[in-house]
Structure 1
Amino acid sequence: MMVARSERLLTLLQTLRRYRRPVTGTVLAEETGVSLRTLYRDIASLQAQGAMIEGEAGIGYVLKPGFMLPPMMFSEEELEALVLGSRWVARAAEPRLANAGADALAKIAAVLPPDMRDMVDSATLFVGRKRQDEDKADVSAIRKAIRLERILELHYGDEQGRISRRRVWPFALGYFEHVRIIMAWCELRQDFRHFRTDRIIDMTIHDTRYPRRRTILLKEWRDTQDTPIEH
């Protein structure tokens, strides 16, 4: 079965993205299922469209970071995924992130060919109603603290209404159906803990950067699937 040229070019780009070092044309041709001659033509086409592919025949090719996919590279399912994701963010996230999701989808739609733009406008994938629980804490500030690896000091209320003060190292934020959860290292417990954002009474973001890298904390947390939520 003949594969559409746009789909073939997308497959080649995705294959190149998996390699951080130059990969030979022979390997690329085998992985993408085309002849070596076709591969060289496809690489030339992508380079003409602005893809930062470096290398040459006999040596190998590497895709430099930062190349944005041209709009014709989106498949129907990819567009549906973008629309569904944007609609879910609009329902589940705080206003600032929800607006960012809508803006991102609008930017994508603005540069799509007319037929693909119609697919975005008429997408029939929807999500449920907006969550009812309201956060007292500024969730956008929590996201910023995670990005900057800053210590958060929380006044946190449990199920019984007891309030404790916690200094935590936030490294991830989970958006669930009815609640948002901060994944963090708790200095009091000396262990990983989860904190519901709707139970944060108030919080302070310290200028102090916590002593371990976020990526390391995330990796270690993934090995502890039974981390308890602070009730």
Structure 2
Amino acid sequence: MRRADRLFLLIHALRGRRQAITAQQLAQTLEVSLRTVYRDVADLQRSGVPIEGEAGVGYVLRKGADIPPLMFSPDELEALVVGTRFVRAFGGERLGRGATAALLKIEAVLPPELRERAARTRIFAPELAGRIESSGLIDALHAAVQEHRVLRLTYRDSGARASEREIEPLCLSFWGGSWTLGAWCRLREDFRSFRPDRIATHSATGEVFAADERRGLQAYLRSVGGALPDRWKR
């Protein structure tokens, strides 16, 4: 995490709080060391940010330094909280960290009654150690999709027969209980949907592909009976 982003998150973690938050809590939230928290707080104080408190006691942002609260309806807020829980449980480690940081920013500027409402929602998405999302594979596939990297796979079909594939990964889809990786398969010279749990090995070839109209994301979605919504084209 860049230092500027970390300082921004630290300030937002302090906003709107009536009680002090300890350096240990800040360190756990930001996933940094206590020494880093102490150093960042001291730097912010020297730059004029009105943070009060000290090591071993906790920190608060001086009253009057807050910004107006975000205006969410209770249903909107619950949707954000529940969505964040699902991303943390099923979106892979990188998106999970991003969701946690985003929710921290939102909760930091909520009025107390809405923050309490957020804490009361009873829809959970438990994070289980044995799931594929905790293996790092979804993160690796997601990065390959974003960076247009050609992958080499050892892939096992439903009968456990293995084949070597080179693919151009186009998208990931989550079906509630399982994932699929949409891709152009160079072996089959056609689109295929691969199940990550059947990928025995994967590696980047070092090649970057340029998707064209015939084998890009839109064409893949048409082949599986879907279409790319306009809002996804932004």
Identify the TM-score tier after normalising by the shorter chain. 0.5 to 0.7
CA deviation after TM superposition for structure 1 residue 133, in Å: 4.8
* Equivalent position to 2:81, from 54, 61, 83: 83
Counterpart Cα distance in 1 of 2:194 and 2:183:
8
Q: Which residue in the other structure is 1:140 paired with?
A: 139
Q: Which residue in the other structure is 2:91 paired with?
A: 93
Can you list the C-alpha shifts for 1:84-139, whole angstroms capped at 9, x where unaligned?
Answer: 11111233233333333223212221122222211211123334785955376622
Counterpart Cα distance in 2 of 1:162 and 1:194:
16
Counterpart Cα distance in 1 of 2:197 and 2:224:
22
Counterpart Cα distance in 1 of 2:175 and 2:109:
32
Can you list the C-alpha shifts for 1:184-219, whole angstroms capped at 9, x where unaligned?
Answer: 1111111110011111111112332113169x7221
Can you list the C-alpha shifts for 1:149-169, whole angstroms capped at 9, x where unaligned?
Answer: 111111111122211111111
Aligned residues of 2:70 and 2:109 also touching (Cα < 8 A): no
Q: Any residues of structure 2 matched to 1:195-206 within 5 Å, and which?
A: 195-206=194-205
Counterpart Cα distance in 1 of 2:205 and 2:106:
36
Relative to the length of structure 2, the TM-score reads 0.59
* RMSD after superposition: 2.7
Cα distance, 1:112–1:153 mapped onto 2, change above 3 Å: same
Counterpart Cα distance in 2 of 1:222 and 1:202:
26
Matched residue type, 1:73 = M
Aligned residues of 1:137 and 1:198 also touching (Cα < 8 A): no
Relative to the length of structure 1, the TM-score reads 0.59
Count the aligned residue pairs: 157
Matched residue type, 1:138 = L
Counterpart Cα distance in 1 of 2:136 and 2:200:
7
Q: Which residue in the other structure is 1:104 paired with?
A: 102
Residue identity (%): 34
Counterpart Cα distance in 2 of 1:213 and 1:84:
37
Aligned residues of 2:153 and 2:199 also touching (Cα < 8 A): yes
Cα distance, 1:213–1:140 mapped onto 2, change above 3 Å: farther
Aligned residues of 1:91 and 1:131 also touching (Cα < 8 A): no
Q: Which residue in the other structure is 1:207 paired with?
A: 206
Aligned residues of 1:92 and 1:130 also touching (Cα < 8 A): no
Matched residue type, 1:122 = R
Counterpart Cα distance in 1 of 2:162 and 2:136:
15
Cα distance, 1:101–1:151 mapped onto 2, change above 3 Å: same
Counterpart Cα distance in 1 of 2:91 and 2:202:
19
Q: Structure 1: which 5+ runs fail to align?
A: 1-69
Counterpart Cα distance in 2 of 1:147 and 1:187:
19
Cα distance, 1:205–1:213 mapped onto 2, change above 3 Å: farther
Aligned residues of 1:171 and 1:217 also touching (Cα < 8 A): yes
SS at match of 2:224: coil
Q: Which residue in the other structure is 2:152 paired with?
A: 153
Matched residue type, 1:165 = E
Q: Structure 2: which 5+ runs fail to align?
A: 1-67, 227-234
Matched residue type, 1:198 = D
